[in-house]
Each structure stands twice: as C-alpha cells, then as structure tokens.
C-alpha cells in the first residue's frame, strides 16, 4: 500500500464483507529481501507495525502472519472434523466390499469351469461399463490433451459432417437445367412425381461420400475407445 493510506475499513470487514473476515499481513519488501532480512525479523517488524499503527492497533491481535497461520490451521481442523465421518464410512464400505471379495476367493479352484465363466462374464460386464462411460464422458479418467470417445463422435456429427457437406460443389444453374429436362422427358400434363424423385435421388447420391467418410471416422473412434477400454 502507498504511504499515508490504510485498509482499516477492509480489515474490519466493513467495505467488502467476507464470511470469515480478513487477516492483514506485512510482506517483506524487495529491499528487505535484497538485504537478506530473515523471516523472524520480518515477523517482529510486522508485529510492531500493527501495534504502533493508529488505524490497526485496536485489531492488532487479529492481524499478522502468526494469526493467519492460526486461522488457517483452525479451518483445516474444522474441515477434517466435518469430512472425516463420511470418509470413514466410505472406507468401511470399501473394506466390507473387499472382504466379501476375499471370502469368494477362499475356496477358489482355477480348474472349475463355472469360475472361469463367472470371471469372463464379470470382465465383459466391466468392459461394457467402461465403454459406456467413455462414450458418455463420465469416466474416472478425463483426457486433457485431445477430444476422445463420445466428445469426438459428437464433433464428427456436428462439425466434420456439416463441413464435408458445405465442401460439396453445387451448381444451381445446372440443377435447374436437369429439372427442366427431367420434366420434359417424363410424359404427362402435370409435373409428375417421377421427375421430382429422379432429381432428388441424384442429389442424395452426392451425400453418400461425406456420409461414408463420417461413418468411417466414427467407426475408427469406436475402435480407439474399445482399445482404451481393453487396457
């Protein structure tokens, strides 16, 4: 802070009130650091500053680095106290689950065909769960480097496929000429449905390339997802 100013209203929690209030500290200046002023001397100077400053001496007992340490330690203690019961219950639940699993393996017989069938079924079920999570994006491991799984497939449908459609060459003049010839070549007094179908089918065929390309991209991503699940 500049000389001649004070933060009394802030530290008294009047200006911008916080639920836990504020704790003011005095950091070492660059001059103190260059002069190799140690932490102990800096804390003594900090204490003297708050006790002697007219704006802060009435709250000096709630200011300074030692008080900040005390407040933070108390917050940590409260947090541990509040979260420990749930954490303990979760651990106990996991322990019971593991004990049940251990109990099942006590009479394990590798040559028992029913055991092998059960193991295979469990693996398939776990694979299905892992695959579904990767497609939904709800797995435990999140890729922070690139899109994968359902996110990449979603991008193919909503970005890559429309991009491929936009790239298609479309000549409106040529299309109008084709429609005109189709109508003339099909007999009848009125514009027949056959002319419409002939033109539309020809246009739909043009969508086959981009569609198959998008399908190939989706298949490749599904294959990559399967490979990741098998690991």
Assigned CATH topology for domain 116-230: 1.20.120
Identity of the highest mean pLDDT range in 49-58, 104-113, 201-210 = 49-58
- Find where tokens 């699993």 sit: 101
CB 154 within 8 A of CB 214: no
∠ CA 38-41-43 to the nearest 5 degrees?
105
Give the chain's mean pLDDT.
85
Take residue 180 and report the two structure tokens written for it: 């005109």
Ranges of CATH 3.40.50.300 domains, the chain: 1-106
pLDDT above 80 for 21: yes
Run of H or E residues at 203 = helix 193-206
Weakest-pLDDT range from 9-13, 102-106, 218-222: 102-106
CATH number for the segment(s) 1-106: 3.40.50.300
Ranges of CATH 1.20.120.1240 domains, the chain: 116-230
Q: What is the pLDDT of residue 191?
A: 57
Interhelix angle 208-230/113-136, nearest 10 degrees:
130
pTM: 0.41
């Amino acid at each position: 802070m500049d000389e001649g100013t004070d933060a009394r209203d802030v530290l008294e929690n009047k200006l911008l009130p916080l639920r836990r209030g504020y704790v003011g500290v005095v950091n070492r200046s660059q001059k103190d650091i260059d002069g190799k002023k140690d932490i102990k001397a800096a804390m003594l100077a900090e204490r003297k500053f708050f006790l002697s400053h007219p704006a802060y001496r009435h709250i000096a007992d709630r200011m300074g680095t030692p008080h900040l340490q005390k407040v933070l330690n108390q917050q940590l203690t409260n947090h541990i106290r509040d979260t420990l019961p749930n954490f303990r219950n979760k651990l106990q639940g996991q322990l019971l689950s593991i004990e049940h699993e251990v109990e099942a393996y006590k009479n394990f017989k590798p040559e028992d065909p029913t055991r092998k069938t059960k193991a295979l079924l469990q693996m398939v079920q776990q694979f299905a769960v892992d695959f579904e999570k990767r497609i939904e994006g709800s797995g435990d491991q999140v890729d922070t480097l690139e899109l994968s799984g359902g996110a990449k497939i979603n991008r193919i449908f909503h970005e890559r496929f429309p991009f491929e459609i936009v790239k298609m060459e479309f000549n409106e003049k040529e299309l109008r000429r084709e429609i005109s010839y189709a109508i003339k070549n099909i007999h009848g007094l009125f514009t027949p449905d056959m002319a419409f179908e002939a033109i539309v089918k020809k246009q739909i065929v043009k969508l086959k390339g981009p569609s198959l390309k998008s399908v190939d991209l989706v298949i490749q991503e599904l294959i990559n997802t399967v490979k990741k699940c098998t690991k």
